[in-house]
Amino acid sequence: MEPCSCDTFVALPPATTDNRIIFGKNSDRLCDEVQEVVYFSAAVHDNLGEKLKCTYIEIDQVPETYAVVLSRPAWLWGAEMGANEHGVCIGNEAVWGREDVCNEEALLGMDLVRLGLERADTAEKALNVIVDLLEKYGQGGNCTEGRMQFSYHNSFLIADKKEAWILETAGKFWAAEKIQEGIRNISNQLSITTKIDREHPDLRKYAKQKGWWDGKKEFDFAATYSYLDTARMMTSPGRYCEGYKLLNKHKGNITFETMMKILRDKPSGINMEGEFLTTASMVSVLPPDLSLPCIHFFTGTPDPERSIFKPFIFVPHISQLLDTSSPTFDLEDQVKKKPHFKPDRRHPLYQNHQQAWEAILKNEEKAKAMVDIMKKMEKALFQEMDSILQNKHLDMDRMTNLFPQCTKDEIEIYKSNVNS
């Protein structure tokens, strides 16, 4: 199964305003999959003999892990997208090509997203973490909960306050492109062509052995490892091209609000609907000034056009994100009792969002009224975050409870509209 889903974007100066780097991603997954927003604090791991359990396999733990905020399908260990306390952001995409996908359980691409964030304080170090783990443990396994088999290779967009990297994989082989200015996006296809800044040591040798490259013409990663006509990649219809057009349209004036507008765009297909839909969205502002905080916005609910982007800032003593954390289940016991058991993983925000939209969907007047209230809340949050970036002042009491309080306020909007 090869659905067209997921888009990740980055804009760097001079494409942005105020010399900032802006990161954004829509996570497009099966329409009934719940995505939660969770926080894990930094930790020191003294007993390195203990293994770390990822989604399917156990791997070696490291002495120290950084604080992370993640948007993830609630059934797994890893993440679709997220950020860490050092301003590193990562999003991944499903990709396919000539190399066979491994269905055997290994590290998921989503596990690699979380591992990169937990173990690296720069974008390039995160790239190193991911490719080292890829070499050691491989990638593979079912990427959905339940009976449907859905496996793929992965591409990653990794950004920090200084630069971004595109990392694209085919099995254990990979190529990476460094982005230092302008705009870049990834979708469900290989996109690195001849500008390769780092690569697997056997990338070209393997391609020659497979007969994909003759060793004479210029090496083009996407053309070699997939079936793409890379000469037409930027002009052919498709979401990779549409996403680039949206970025390019705003080049020079891109802000975090611009990025949200792109993620909400339905005519381009970026905001997906159908069996696979946009289940959660994320936008991050990464200012170059080290005295300024990075600000990460998450929806935690499907369809960014019907959701509120809520800000999260890393500060000490953050309150737990209870209203976007899904219930946990002892799955082995449940599956024994009920074969093909699929638990209800909806967290409080998801439940209230779903109930509100189901209740007013056929009432255009009520739907418009609720959207107006949501936009008003969101606008106030944007103004507050802009003030922080301009004035360099953080109200620490407010910041420790920022995302949880925003979530509670959003839930109240949904409850009041259901009950009215």
DSSP bridge pairs for 47: none
Q: Is 6 a catalytic residue?
A: yes
Question: Tens digit of pLDDT for each residue in 134-193?
Answer: 999 999 999 889 766 788 899 999 999 999 999 999 999 999 999 999 999 999 899 999
Q: If we measure between CA atoms, which residue out of 279, 295, 308 comes closest to residue 407?
A: 308
pTM of the model: 0.95
pLDDT at 239 over 90: no
Q: Calculate the CA dihedral of residues 304, 308, 312, 318 and round it to 10 degrees.
A: -120
The sheet that has 81-84: what strands, in order across it? Answer: 35-40, 68-73, 81-84, 89-95, 153-159, 164-170, 173-179, 198-199
Among residues 4, 6, 143, 406, the one annotated as catalytic is 6
Q: What is the secondary structure of 97-127 as a DSSP string?
A: -SSPPP-SS-B-HHHHHHHHHHH-SSHHHHH
CB atoms within 10 A of CB 254: 27
Question: Tens digit of pLDDT for each residue in 277-320?
Answer: 999 999 999 999 999 999 999 999 999 999 999 999 999 999 99
pLDDT at 335 over 90: no
